[in-house]
Amino acid sequence: MHILAVIFWALNLLFALLSYLYPIPVFPACLVFFVWILIGFGTAGWNEHTELNAPKWAGRAAKISTAYTGINFFVCMFLLREGGPGIQDGIYCIENHGDFIREINYEAYMNLMRVESRFFYGHLLVFTAGVMEKHLGICNLKI
């Protein structure tokens, strides 16, 4: 299970980094990551000392992931303050809760799609790092 935890965190990190270049679809991955986080935390247990036994690199990765998530959250919220990208009647636009806000060009649309991807994958990074740290701590527990 600890190998899966590292793989999911690395995959999440890869998606977060790639979202700076490409808009990565959110929906298919959201189900997989959410299920993994629920299973991962559920099987890791909630021993408060577990992460103390994790390798130092996992602890650092979790701290960096937490800091990145916080900064990324506020940056993306600022960039998406008017609304998210959408297409209504074949027109690229900013929409907020389905309401047309204003028309934008294709370049702006793609930029907002990347921001949405970055927002999602960056937000999940703290959770996948937490699962990873918990599971690596369980592996290194000395009983």
Q: What is the pLDDT at residue 143?
A: 34
Neighbour-count burial of 99, counting CB atoms closer than 10 A to its CB (0-12 exposed, 13-18 middle, 19+ buried): exposed
Q: What is the pLDDT at residue 51?
A: 65
DSSP 3-state assignment of 82? coil
Do 82 and 101 meet the contact criterion of CB atoms below 8 Å apart?
yes
Q: What is the pLDDT at residue 46?
A: 57
Q: What is the pLDDT at residue 142?
A: 43
Mean pLDDT per block of 10 residues along the chain (143 residues) reads 88 94 85 81 65 81 95 96 93 92 95 95 92 80 43
The gap from C-alpha 96 to its chain's centroid, in whole angstroms, comes to 22
Neighbour-count burial of 91, counting CB atoms closer than 10 A to its CB (0-12 exposed, 13-18 middle, 19+ buried): exposed
Q: What is the pLDDT at residue 56?
A: 87
Q: What is the pLDDT at residue 39?
A: 80
